[in-house]
């Protein structure tokens, strides 16, 4: 195994530590939000507590998928196990939608039969403390997920951040109820929270499906590849069949390089190695594959997808 591969695997293993952060945050917030609900009898705070339970389940799934994704390539999975992360993000998306459905059901029932709320001051204080725990954990997970290209950590962080905004809306609404006695506002807020959660779940599922379908790299990353290609075109090299895809933290780039027929295999090989290295410098964790062809052979420009 190469030194680069070993470093990548070590980084993948390190990501599981952040999943434990998410699990810890979920356990703390479940306890605090459940206490807040029991004190106040607010369906808005109940919806908040239910989402935290989903956060816990999602965090456990994220941890298990990160452990699988950290496994090195083997004979059955020669490109590694990084796509396991998409199973985690898909599961989180589905769980988010299920949680939203449960919140809607409870909120509509309370909308039909409003009930007075109790101990709002203490309940809101407890809920606010839970939100602060989620906020800190979410910011750490999102930043780490983006830095290390882990859709699992980023999805988990976004999920927690959704919970934070949910709590902000609910806390603000319950505070208004405390001053106005507009008890109907409590289930209305819960319904709005559920709709926002549904939107988050749909976006997360869209990203996961794109990963399973081997979607191309984002435009900005494709432009980095094109920048490297332009540099080598100045050296007499031509390119075609440029393809990219992303699999969680890993990026894949494949190109056909057309070199002058007078070049030796030694020279062409070194140009290809230099090109692959330059692309990897632009795109971390990238696996770059080049196929050398003579530029003066008419069949070199034929792409297998054109046949």
Q: What is the pLDDT of residues 136-181, one digit of tens each?
A: 988 998 888 887 767 677 777 877 887 787 788 778 877 887 788 7
**pLDDT of 13 above 60:** no
Average pLDDT in the 116-136 region?
82
Domains 3-212 and 219-306 belong to one CATH topology: no
- pLDDT at position 9, please? 47
Q: Check residue 300 and give its pLDDT.
A: 63
With bands split at pLDDT 50, 70 and 90, how would you rate the model's confidence at 273?
very high
> The tokens 């692309």 sit on which residue?
279
pTM of the predicted protein model: 0.57
Domain 3-212 matching CATH 3.90.1150.10: the answer reads no
Stretch among 80-94, 118-132, 261-275 having the lowest mean pLDDT: 80-94
Q: How confident is the model at residue 301 (pLDDT cuts 50, 70, 90)?
A: low
Whether the pLDDT of residue 80 is over 70: the answer is no
Neighbour-count burial of 244, counting CB atoms closer than 10 A to its CB (0-12 exposed, 13-18 middle, 19+ buried) = buried
Place of tokens 């509509």: 108
Integer Cα distance of 244 and 301 in angstroms: 18
Tell me, rounded to whole angstroms, the distance of Cα 12 from its chain centroid. 14
Q: Which two tokens stand for residue 69?
A: 């994704």
For 213-269, the pLDDT digits (tens) are: 777 788 888 899 999 999 999 888 889 888 888 766 678 899 999 988 888 888 889
Residue 55: its pLDDT value, please? 73
Instruction: Give the residue-averaged pLDDT of 104-118.
Output: 77
- What does the angle CA 63 – CA 67 – CA 72 come to, to the nearest 5 degrees? 160
Domain boundaries, the chain: 3-212, 219-306
The CATH architecture one would assign to domain 219-306 is 2-Layer Sandwich (3.30)
CA distances from 232 to 173, 244, 261 (A): 60, 18, 16
Q: 3-state SS string over the chain?
A: CCHHHHHHHHHHHHHHHHHHHHHHHHHHHHHHHHHHHHHHCCHHHHHHHHHHHHHHHHHHHHHHHHHHHCCCCCCCCCCCCCCHHHHHHHHHHHHHHHHHHHHHHHHHHHHHCCCCCCCHHHHHHHHHHHHHHHHHHHHHHHHHHHHCCCHHHHHHHHHHHHHHHHHHHHHHHHHHHHHHCCCCHHHHHHHHHHHHHHHHHHHHHHHHHHHHCCCCCCHHHHHHHHHHHHHHHCCCCEEEEEEEEEECCEEEEEEEEEECCCCCHHHHHHHHHHHHHHHHHHCCCEEEEEEEEECCCHHHHCCHHHC
Distances (CA, A) of 22 to 15, 54, 137, 196: 11, 12, 6, 21
Of 237, 220, 219, 210, the closest CA to residue 155 belongs to 210
């Amino acid at each position: 195994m190469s030194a680069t591969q070993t470093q990548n695997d070590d980084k993948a293993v390190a990501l599981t530590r952040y999943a434990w952060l998410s699990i810890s945050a979920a356990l703390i917030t479940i306890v605090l939000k459940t206490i807040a609900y029991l004190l106040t009898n607010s369906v808005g705070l109940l919806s908040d507590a239910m989402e935290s339970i989903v956060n816990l389940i999602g965090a456990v799934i994220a941890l298990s998928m990160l452990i699988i994704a950290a496994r090195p390539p083997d004979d059955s999975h020669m490109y590694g196990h990084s796509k396991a992360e998409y199973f985690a993000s898909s599961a989180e998306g589905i769980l988010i939608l299920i949680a939203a459905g449960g919140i809607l059901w409870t909120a509509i029932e309370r909308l039909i039969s409003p009930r007075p709320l109790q101990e709002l001051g203490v309940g809101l204080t407890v809920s606010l403390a839970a939100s602060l725990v989620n906020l800190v954990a979410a910011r750490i997970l999102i930043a780490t997920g983006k830095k290390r290209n882990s859709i699992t950590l980023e999805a988990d962080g976004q999920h927690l951040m959704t919970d934070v905004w949910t709590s902000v809306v609910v806390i603000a609404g319950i505070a208004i109820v405390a001053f106005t006695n507009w008890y109907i506002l409590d289930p209305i807020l819960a319904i709005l929270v559920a709709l926002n959660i549904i939107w988050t779940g749909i976006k997360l599922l869209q990203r996961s499906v794109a990963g399973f379908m081997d979607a191309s790299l984002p435009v900005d990353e494709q432009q980095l590849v094109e920048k490297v290609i332009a540099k080598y075109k100045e050296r007499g090299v031509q390119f075609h069949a440029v393809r990219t895809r992303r699999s969680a933290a890993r990026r894949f780039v494949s190109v056909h390089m057309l070199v002058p027929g007078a070049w030796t295999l030694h020279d062409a090989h070194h140009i290809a190695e230099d090109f692959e290295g330059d692309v990897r410098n632009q795109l971390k964790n990238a696996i770059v594959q080049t196929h050398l062809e003579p530029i003066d052979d008419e069949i070199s420009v034929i792409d297998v997808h054109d046949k």
